[in-house]
């Protein structure tokens, strides 16, 4: 009887990529393959790659080459495979297979064919697939948290972004499918579900002819999960109907991740952002008025071609004025195949880095002040780590999303259980994190 090969997955990239990884693992386990967490003990290593920016591509290639040097049979999956399939086959002879972003559901067949000695190119340009609640899944997050992809792909064509080329146009899952998956996760003990897609506020347009995010959120109110959080909520899609759904659905957190990218209308137009000049003071003020308790997170790109000091000063003033709870900053990365790659007035790298530093230095006292408002409050904290030797636990309050925001350090957390909620009095803070005690 032939020995079943052992397979490991090296996961790189975003949470949408993570969901693909989890489905591949689930399919492989269902098919009887042995899955190993230690790459060195595996026969095959699937590298689920990122190709969003140059730095991510370098990390992906570095990981692939390191595994190849160790004699592993490497399957290159995800965005890098979708982006550079021919080049990868030519330049990395150790790669036994390529699996694109629309083909991860074929992973069992790919491994079986590789076992027969075939070098497999399973990358299709017809990106139409999206997994639903019936596809096996083996979660790689901690037991309390799960990401649920409500849609794949993007219909927008922002000048700096290669996502539509890598993942296709938007395709949403039906509300019933998403709700069923969330019920399944609740039955597994999941305490927090994070809804993800490229443009969460556009959810459902392709299926229903108009956005259905509000309807989805209301339907998810029936799921027995204490926290449901949204990522990638584009501000112009936060209609009064959506804001009311957030406000009226008890388990939907008033946490809004707004990928604004910039504040100046000229830069937004150059970026070909879908709302361009409509991201202004008024739209943020409307969100704050409708959801005064909302936690606002955003990200900005600095150093976009043509960004002047006046444009950047506009951004700094915007940040100071609106006092976001959490801000992330990225320097512009010129990606071949995007319109922004060949735009004139490219910004020197040193200027980009200097602007990024100035932006974060502007935000830090704001983040500290927002955290200081929590001191003295008793908040619910979801515990995710336990350190018995220090008698400390680490978790998150509702104002912190997994992996991207701060955490809550619980000084008397030695009796806390991972995956459970505790009432914690916040006794201190710094720029990014909170400190407290179980009451």
Question: Is the pLDDT at 2 greater than 70, yes or no?
Answer: no
CB contact at 8 A, 315 and 302 = yes
CB contact at 8 A, 159 and 271 = yes
Calpha distance 191→145 (Å, rounded): 6
Q: Six-digit token pair at 244?
A: 């009311």
Q: Six-digit token pair at 215?
A: 């309807």
Helix axis angle for 213-220 and 240-248, nearest 10°, is: 10
What's the pLDDT score for residue 211?
96
CB contact at 8 A, 206 and 174 = no
Tens digit of each residue's pLDDT (9 = 90 or more) over 219-245: 999 999 999 999 999 888 899 999 999
The beta-strand segments (E) located in 79-208 are 95-99, 120-122, 145-149, 151-152, 171-172, 192-196
Determine whether 390 is exposed, middle or buried from the number of CB atoms within 10 Å of its CB (0-12, 13-18, 19+). exposed
**136's torsion region: left (phi>0), alpha (psi -120 to 50) or beta?**
beta
For 379, list phi and psi in degrees, rounded to 5: -125, 155
Beta-bridged to residue 44, according to DSSP, are 7, 73
Identify the three-state secondary structure at position 140.
coil
Dihedral Cα 113, 114, 120, 124, nearest 10 deg: 60
What's the pLDDT score for residue 256?
96
Query: Sorting pLDDT into bands at 50, 70 and 90, what band is 278?
Result: low
CB contact at 8 A, 41 and 12 = no
DSSP category for residue 260 = E
How far, in Å, are 187, 370, 385 from residue 420 at the CA level? 15, 25, 11
Tens digit of each residue's pLDDT (9 = 90 or more) over 5-29: 999 999 998 899 999 999 999 999 9
**Most confident residue range from 31-40, 63-72, 168-177:** 168-177
How far, in Å, are 203, 214, 308 from residue 180 at the CA level? 17, 17, 49
Sign of CA dihedral 99, 105, 109, 115: positive
CB contact at 8 A, 410 and 437 = yes
CB contact at 8 A, 309 and 266 = no
* Number of residues that this document lists for the chain: 439
Mean pLDDT, range 396-409, rounded to an integer: 96
Mean pLDDT, range 402-425, rounded to an integer: 95
Tens digit of each residue's pLDDT (9 = 90 or more) over 330-341: 999 998 889 999
Nearest to 360 by CA among 391, 331, 397: 331
For 238, list phi and psi in degrees, rounded to 5: -85, 70
State the residue for tokens 């900005």: 300
What's the pLDDT score for residue 87?
87
Calpha distance 21→25 (Å, rounded): 6
Angle at 102 between CA 96 and CA 105, to 5 degrees: 70
Residue percentage of the chain with pLDDT more than 70:
98
């Amino acid at each position: 009887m032939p020995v079943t090969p052992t397979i490991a997955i090296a996961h790189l990239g975003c949470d949408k990529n993570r969901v693909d990884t989890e489905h591949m693992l689930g399919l492989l386990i269902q098919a009887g393959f042995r899955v190993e967490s230690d790459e060195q003990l595996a026969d095959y290593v699937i590298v689920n790659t990122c190709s969003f920016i140059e730095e991510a591509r370098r990390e992906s290639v570095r990981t692939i080459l390191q595994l190849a040097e160790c004699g592993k049979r490497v399957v290159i999956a995800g965005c890098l495979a979708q982006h550079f399939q021919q080049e990868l086959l030519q330049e990395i002879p150790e790669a036994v297979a390529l699996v694109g972003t629309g083909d991860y559901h074929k992973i069992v067949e790919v491994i079986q064919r590789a076992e027969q000695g075939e070098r497999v190119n399973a990358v299709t340009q017809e990106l139409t697939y999206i997994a639903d609640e019936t596809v096996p899944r083996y979660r790689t997050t901690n037991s309390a948290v799960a990401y649920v992809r409500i849609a794949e792909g993007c219909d927008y064509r922002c000048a700096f972004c290669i996502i539509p080329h890598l993942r296709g146009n938007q395709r949403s899952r039906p509300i019933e499918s998403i709700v069923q998956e969330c019920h399944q996760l609740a039955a597994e003990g999941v305490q927090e579900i994070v809804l993800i897609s490229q443009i969460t506020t556009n959810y459902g347009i392709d299926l229903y002819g108009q956005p259905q995010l509000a309807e989805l959120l209301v339907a998810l109110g029936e799921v027995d999960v204490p926290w449901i959080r949204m990522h990638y909520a584009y501000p112009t899609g936060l209609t009064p109907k959506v804001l009311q759904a957030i406000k009226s659905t008890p388990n939907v957190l008033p946490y809004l991740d707004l990928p604004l990218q910039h504040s100046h209308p000229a830069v937004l137009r150059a970026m070909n952002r879908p709302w361009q000049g409509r991201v202004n003071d008024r739209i943020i003020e409307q969100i704050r008025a409708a959801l005064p308790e909302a936690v606002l997170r955003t990200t900005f790109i600095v150093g976009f071609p043509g960004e002047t000091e006046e444009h950047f000063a506009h951004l700094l003033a915007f940040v100071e004025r609106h006092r976001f709870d959490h801000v992330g900053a990225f320097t512009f990365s010129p990606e071949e195949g995007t319109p922004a790659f060949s735009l004139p007035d490219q910004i020197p790298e040193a200027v980009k880095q200097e602007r990024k530093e100035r932006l974060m230095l502007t935000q830090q006292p704001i983040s500290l002040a927002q955290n200081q408002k929590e001191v003295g409050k008793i908040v619910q904290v979801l515990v995710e780590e336990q350190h018995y030797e220090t008698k400390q636990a680490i978790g998150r309050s509702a104002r912190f999303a997994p992996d991207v925001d701060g955490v809550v350090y619980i000084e008397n957390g030695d009796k806390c259980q991972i995956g459970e909620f505790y009432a914690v009095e916040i006794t201190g803070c710094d720029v990014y994190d909170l400190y407290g005690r179980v009451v």
